[in-house]
Structure 1
Amino acid sequence: MEKGPVCVTGGTGFVASWLVMRLLQHGYTVRTTVRPDPECKRDLSFLTSLPRASENLQIFNADLNKPDSFNEAIEGCIGVFHVAHPMPTKELDEEVVTKKAVQGALGILKACLNSKTVKRVVYTSSASTVAYSGGSQDLVDESSWSDIEFHRSLKIFGTSYVAAKTKTEQAILEFAEKSGLEVVTLIPPLVVGGFICKNFPSSVYLALAMILDQVPIDEMSQFLSAKYPDFPIPTTDFLKGIEGYKSCGFSSQKLLSSGFKFKHGLDDMFGDAIQSCRGKGFL
């Protein structure tokens, strides 16, 4: 792909901010979107201070509730990374969150199609879209789909997230098939590693809490609830055994068969995460 402009939605997040940095490093002109901040209090210096950002980074306001707000950022781009996702404010918000995620994603895809310049869209999905099929598989891959009703029957947190992510990916793939737009979906599990964003990524906190044994789970829940009021946080009850459900592994065979090679192991992932936490004053 040529080094023309690319768009990354949700630029203040853990994964998206890394994408912005790497794309800049590889010589791309990058446009990223952030939720509107009426009071202009959000500190975006971690993005604007990145190498090459002063020349090659533009930041746009856009909101998934208003899909047309992404048009300006996408117009003229050759590629789009759709990473932004609304987080549920409570389990009862499933319908609202799903509608926002699906309509926002479809609006972004329509903008890509209308641009006549976007050659490929990469959508960041989630392992939650394949992990809860209700079957007995030890290993699942991209051919599996989570059963939302099965997840709901487990009576654990996160059904809003599972439903929204699953239905959004399905809608995206259906749109791509009908329109001919080239779309690639990625299914990451828990994301762990160093981070450049300002907030403490919830996935990093959850991963470190499991190995550091320094923070009681209820205290961790309180911390995350304060930091991420829109994210459903597990409690001690969640960590107790769930009768009739066994977690599964995730196959990377399709990724590996495409030529991808893993370069970093657990030492890098957790070491970099701890270093970032210390550098930002979280540890």
Structure 2
Amino acid sequence: MEEEEGRGRTVCVTGGTGYIASWLIMRLLHHGYSVRATVRSPHPECKRDLSYLTHLPGASQIFQADLNQPHSFNEAIQGCTAVFHLAHPMDTDQAKEPEETVTRRAVEGTVGILKACLENKKTLKRVVYTSSGAATILYNDKGLSVSDENTWSELDVCRSSKLVSPSYLVSKTVVEKMALEFAENNGLDLVTLVLPPSNHDQYECLVNSYMVHIDDVANALIFLLEYPHAQGRYICSSAEITIREMFDFLIARYPEFQISIPG
């Protein structure tokens, strides 16, 4: 039955080589969608193995596109019924590039994608943008014990955070806000999915964090495409779990792998 849901519908997934995107592509194909995946042009000396995408049952079409060239996504989006936007500059190495450079690339690339979506409104029904907990958890103490869809990170707190690269934290927050505003101002149907937030710093996240299974993320993204009344922002978070609890779960669930706890 799942295979019939997307039959005859073509969707575009940006950032197709990413972990979430590649899993989403697999699930979309399973649901019967035709998929166009965008990937960055590889360096001439570095040939990328994309067989994990091209060898999937039903296979996905591969298009080269780069956020540095906003118009490069036009061909992949043309004629699609939906776009899943996951491509984003990722710099976890304490900002090799200035924050302004990373944010400008992310914003201009996303604007280019959204403009291409507007040009294809006759066929395109919805855009689903994948955000991050980085856009919800970094704010000055306001007595908030729970982050929800109305909670936004503050840019000054993002810049001083050691969670990951400040440029990533700032750019994810700025891009999601911009995308929602662009969609509202231009009559574009867009929803955003925020991946699990955490209220911990970089090291506490290694011990205790909010997690969600990759399959649940993919299913949530597909649900937001297919559910006609979806709108605005949604947080995708399953449960808070410690590393010890994760080990105990995996040991009990998969005894054949002989998983041991370090130390």
Matched ranges for 1:140-179 at <5 A: 140-154=147-161, 157-179=164-186
For residues 138 and 108 of structure 1, the distance between their equivalents in structure 2, rounded to whole angstroms, comes to 35
Task: Give 1:148 deviation, angstroms.
Answer: 1.5
> Does residue 239 of the first structure (1) align with residue 246 of the second (2)?
no
- Is 1:70 matched with 2:73? yes
Question: Where in structure 2 are the equivalents of 1:31-42 lying within 5 Å?
Answer: 31-39=36-44, 41-42=47-48
Distance of aligned partners of 1:187 and 1:41 in 2 relative to their CA distance in 1, 3 Å threshold: same
SS in 2 for 1:84: coil
The TM-score with structure 2 as length reference comes to 0.71
Paired residues for 1:1-283 under 5 Å: 3=7, 4-39=9-44, 41-53=47-59, 57-88=60-91, 90-91=94-95, 92-116=97-121, 117-135=123-141, 136-154=143-161, 157-189=164-196, 239=203, 271=250
Residues 249-276 of structure 1 deviation map (CA, whole Å, 9 limit, x = unaligned): 79xxxx9xx8x999999779x75xx99x
- CA shift digits 1:79-138 (9 cap, x unpaired): 000001012364252110000001111110000010121100000000110101212311
Secondary structure, aligned partner of 1:139:
coil
Letter matched to residue 123 of structure 1: Y
Cα distance, 1:140–1:59 mapped onto 2, change above 3 Å: same
For residues 23-59 of structure 1, give each alpha carbon's deviation from its aligned partner in whole angstroms, at most 9, with x where no partner exists.
1011111000000014261000111111111xxx210
DSSP-derived class of the 1:6 partner: strand
Tell me how far apart the structure 1 counterparts of residues 236 and 134 of structure 2 sit (CA, whole Å): 23
> How large is the Cα RMSD of the aligned pairs?
3.7
- Percent identity (aligned): 50
Total equivalences in the alignment = 215
Query: How far apart, in 2, do the equivalents of 1:248 and 1:36 lie?
Result: 34
Mapped to 2, the partners of 1:51 and 1:97 lie a distance apart of 35
Cα separation, partners in 2 of 1:93 and 1:50, compared to 1, 3 Å = same
Q: 1:157 Cα deviation (Å)?
A: 3.8
TM-score of the superposition, structure 1-length normalised?
0.66
Quick one: distance in 2 between partners of 1:65 and 1:21? 27
Q: 1:141 to 1:44 in 2, by over 3 A?
A: same
Gaps of at least 5 residues in structure 2 are 212-223, 225-229, 258-263
Which residue identity lines up with residue 61 of structure 1 in the other structure? Answer: Q
Give the Cα separation in 1 of the matches to 2:72 and 2:133: 28
Unaligned runs of 5+ in 1: 192-233, 242-246, 279-283
Instruction: Extract structure 1 runs of 4+ deviating beyond 4 A.
Output: 247-250, 260-268
CA distance in 2, matches of 1:84, 1:128: 16
> Cα distance 1:22–1:265, how it changes in 2: closer, same or farther (>3 A)?
farther
SS of the residue aligned with 1:7? strand
